[in-house]
Amino acid sequence: MLNAVKAACGLWVAFAPMALAQQGAVVVEFYTSQGCSSCPPADAYFATLTGQAGVIPLALHVDYWDYIGWEDRFADPQFTARQKAYARAAHSRTIYTPQMIVQGAARVEGNDPEAVAGAIAAAQAGAAPVLLQVTREAAGLRIRAEMRQVAAAGAALAAVGPVIVQLVRYRPEETVDIAHGENAGQVVTYRNIVTSWEPVAEWAGLAPLDLALPDPGAGPAVVILQQPGPGAILAAAALD
């Protein structure tokens, strides 16, 4: 899909959206598994983040605990690969669950709410380097972005790109009765279960971004602008 979508440069102008995305939110990626005995307390804490203003919590279920005796039907090898990529970027050889990665930068133990809250607060304390607007229009999604320094000063700025534009889809909630494995007998309600995480375009960061995407269908979606690596998340916006 990445090669099929071309990002057009345009002006940062006012427009009338059909629906305006939540702006300036901090993304919390939660790596979890139904087969991990340490995960249910972290799953419960993660659920509280789904009601927290200014936070976009996204649960990515990994598949490397499936061999223990319970196959996580939300798991995707792509999510395991993404977690491994974060580890490589941090020069680490270890991945584990439960883990939370805040704004693409802070890697935090998922069962340490104080550390997670601190990482979220630190991310919220800094101004997002990118202005981002995402709207639902009749033909699909419209994504507009501009470096904040350019918008404020009208000055030239060295490119921060490539920036990867990503579209994330998720299921808000589902309850699972776990019959086997380390969590056998537990009934867990999972929240914000990621079903797809797709790169859709690259943006150099100098000229404003004006990108149209096909209609992703009903349901919540998140647009994330992130440096490669995966690296720091520069901006994110959620649509219900």
Report if residue 189 sits inside a domain: yes
Structural domain count, the chain: 1
Q: What does the pLDDT average to over 39-59?
A: 97
In this structure, the number of other CB atoms found within 10 A of the CB of residue 89 comes to 16
User: Which pair of structure tokens corresponds to residue 32?
Assistant: 């979890």
Output 75 or 1, whichever has higher pLDDT: 75
Exposure of 221 in the CB half-sphere (CA atoms within 13 A)? 21
- What does the pLDDT read at residue 205? 86
Strands 55-61 and 26-32, how do they pair? parallel
Q: Which of 155, 157, 106, 149 is nearest to 131 (CA)?
A: 149
Report if residue 151 sits inside a domain: yes
Dump pLDDT digits (tens) for 123-174. 999 878 899 999 988 888 999 999 876 544 444 444 566 899 999 999 999 9
Report if residue 65 sits inside a domain: yes
Place of tokens 């939110």: 25
CATH assignment of the domain containing 169: 3.40.30.10
Dump pLDDT digits (tens) for 217-230. 888 999 999 999 99
**How far, CA to CA in Å, does 24 sit from each of 66, 92, 177, 194, 234?**
36, 29, 36, 20, 9
Report if residue 1 sits inside a domain: no
Domain that includes residue 79, residue range: 8-239
User: Which pair of structure tokens corresponds to residue 43?
Assistant: 């799953």
Q: Are 51 and 79 in contact (CB under 8 A)?
A: no
Report if residue 153 sits inside a domain: yes
- What does the pLDDT read at residue 126? 82
Report if residue 185 sits inside a domain: yes
- What does the pLDDT read at residue 219? 86
- What does the pLDDT read at residue 12? 35
Report if residue 15 sits inside a domain: yes
Q: Is 32 helix (H, G, I), strand (E, B) or coil?
A: strand
- What does the pLDDT read at residue 59? 98
Report if residue 157 sits inside a domain: yes
